Amino acid sequence: MITSSQNSKIKLVRALLGRAKERRDANAFVLEGVRLVEEAVNDHILKHKIKFALYDGTLNQRGKLLVETLKSYNIEVDEIPTRLMKTISETETPQGLLAVVEFFQLPIPTTPNFVLILDQVRDPGNLGALLRTAWATGVETVLLPPDSTDAFSPKVLRSGMGAQLQLPIYSLDWGQIRGYITGMEIYLADMDGQSCWEIDLRQPLALIISGEAESASEEARKLATQKISIPMAGNVESLNAGVAGSVLMFEVVRQRNYQ
């Protein structure tokens, strides 16, 4: 059992949970909770990327079975005191299990049909919700320009509920993004845009969703070939980025599969 807060594994977990720079430097991130660790273990590639796991005595039966599965794959698993788990966990009520995973990117498609670009999306809840919806709607690539939140931060991982493990997610500058989506229609979500009900979304496209705290960046506006909006009743000014992006992504699915 690990009992010292100065243990190298404990210190690494703290660093990875704290800052994006630490995650980049270590080329790793932390999955917290039984469900997210299960997602990694059940993936034939990701299970080999798990560096080690830590658990405490509060772990439920499902979690205990998962610990045995981890051990069967010769993954290092250590028990730590509950008090120590509480000091390193990002959650108010830890589930008693976390794993450090080597960063892994799924290959980026060479000829994508549906790309999501998240411009200045800084709220972790919104970013996680957008990634989960992207997974649900068949988005093939998610691109994060500068000034968007790290997709592998603890809060985004929790709100994404495993979407990060299933999607190609790439942080690129605007020049790289422009080169990747050459030839596609590029729609910027904007209240002044054309209604999504009036646009043919069946062709290959990239959808730009901007954070709600600020309007779309100048780079996003230059990149877009058209603005797209969501019809709304009443005097509602706008939807948050997570909701607006989800509505538009599902409209793409509706047009492509049900028209």
- Domain positions in the chain are 8-102, 114-258
- In CATH terms, the fold of domain 8-102 is 60s Ribosomal Protein L30; Chain: A; (3.30.1330)
- In CATH terms, the fold of domain 114-258 is Alpha/beta knot (3.40.1280)
Q: What is the model's pLDDT at position 214?
A: 66
Q: Rounded distance, CA 176 to CA 126, Å?
A: 24
Q: What is the CA radius of gyration of the chain?
A: 20
**Token match 């005595």: residue?**
57
Which candidate, 45, 170, 176, places its Cα nearest to that of 101?
45
Cα pseudo-dihedral 194, 197, 203, 208, rounded to 10 = 50
Q: Rounded distance, CA 16 to CA 39, Å?
A: 19
Classify 44 as helix, strand or coil. Answer: coil
Tell me the pLDDT tens digit for each residue of 66-125. Answer: 999 999 999 999 999 999 999 998 887 888 999 999 998 889 999 999 999 999 998 999
Q: What is the model's pLDDT at position 240?
A: 86
Classify 56 as helix, strand or coil. Answer: coil
pLDDT confidence band for 251 (50 / 70 / 90): very high
| Selected residue with higher pLDDT from 112 and 237 | 112
Question: CB under 8 Å to 148, separation ≥6 — which residues?
Answer: 118, 119, 120, 121, 122, 127, 171, 211
Beta bridge partners of 99: 31, 53
Q: Rounded distance, CA 215 to CA 69, Å?
A: 47
Q: Rounded distance, CA 8 to CA 91, Å?
A: 21
Q: Rounded distance, CA 136 to CA 111, Å?
A: 20
Q: Rounded distance, CA 83 to CA 250, Å?
A: 43
Phi, then psi, of 222 in degrees rounded to 5: -65, -35
What the block records as the tokens of 142 is 């998610």
Which candidate, 216, 25, 160, places its Cα nearest to that of 103?
25
Concatenate the DSSP letters of all residues of 100-138 into one string: EEE---PPPPSS-SEEEEEES---HHHHHHHHHHHHHHT
Sheet with 28-32, edge to edge strand ranges: 28-32, 97-102, 50-55, 76-79
pLDDT of 233 strictly over 90: no
For the chain, percent of residues with pLDDT exceeding 70: 97
pLDDT confidence band for 177 (50 / 70 / 90): very high
Cβ atoms of 187 and 224 within 8 Å: the answer is yes
